[in-house]
Amino acid sequence: MRQVLYFCIIVIVAAFMYGCSSSGPEISYVNISDAAPVTGQRILLQANSVVDYYPIRYVWTASGGELEEDGRYWAYWIAPETPDNYTVTCTVIDDNDDQETAFFNIDVGQREKEALVDQGALCLAKYRNDKISGVWASTNNDIWYFSSSGESNIGWGDEFTAIAIQGYSSYYYYTYHTIWGAKGNEIYYYRASDDTGTMTCGGCETINTMEVDGSTLWVGANNGLYKCSTATYTCDPTDITEQVYDLYAGEDLTLAATSTGVYSLDTDGTWNEPEAPYTEITYAITVDKDSNIWSVIDDGGSNKVAENGEALLNQPPDGDVITSLDIDLLGRIWCGKYYWDGTGWNVHPEFADDVIKESMVSPEGLVYLRSTSGVLFCW
pLDDT per residue as tens digits for the range 154-179? 999 999 999 999 998 654 456 789 99
Looking at residues 15-30, what average pLDDT do you find? 65
Q: Could you tell me the pLDDT band of residue 258, with boundaries at 50, 70 and 90?
A: very high
pTM of the model: 0.91
Label each residue of the chain as H, E or C. CHHHHHHHHHHHHHHHHHHHHCCCCEEEEEEECCCCCECCCEEEEEEEEECCCCCCEEEEEECCCEEECCCCCEEEEECCCCCEEEEEEEEEECCCCCEEEEEEEEEEECCCCEEEECCCCCEEECCCCCCCCCEEEECCCCEEEEECCEEEECCCCCCCCEEEEEEEECCCCCEEEEEEEEECCEEEEEEECCEEEEEECCCCCCEEEEEEECCEEEEEECCEEEEEECCCCEEEECCCCCCEEEEEECCCCEEEEECCEEEEECCCCCEECCCCCCCCCEEEEEECCCCCEEEEEEECCEEEEEECCEECCCCCCCCCCCCCCEECCCCCEEECCEEECCCCEEECHHHCCCCEEEEEECCCCCEEEEECCCCEEEC
Tell me how many degrees the CA angle 190-191-197 measures, rounded to the nearest 5.
45
Q: How many Å apart are CA 324 and CA 295, to the nearest integer?
A: 9
Which domains can be identified in the chain, with CATH numbers?
A: 25-108 (2.60.40.1080), 114-378 (2.130.10.10)
Single-letter amino acid, residue 66: E
Supply angle C-alpha 79, 326, 176, rounded to 5: 75
Contact 296, 331 (CB under 8 A): no
> How many whole angstroms separate alpha carbon 129 and alpha carbon 175?
10
* 2-13 pLDDT tens trace: 444 443 433 333
What per-residue confidence (pLDDT) applies to 248? 98
Q: pLDDT tens for residues 332-370? A: 999 999 999 999 999 999 999 999 999 999 999 999 999
As a whole number, mean pLDDT of residues 71-83 equals 96
Mean pLDDT of the chain: 91
Lowest mean pLDDT among 8-22, 23-37, 269-283, 357-371: 8-22
List b or e across 165-204, with b for residues whose CB sees 16 or more CB atoms inside 10 angstroms: bbeeeeeeeeeebbbbbbbebebbbbeeeeeeeebebeeb
Q: What percent of the chain has pLDDT over 90?
A: 84
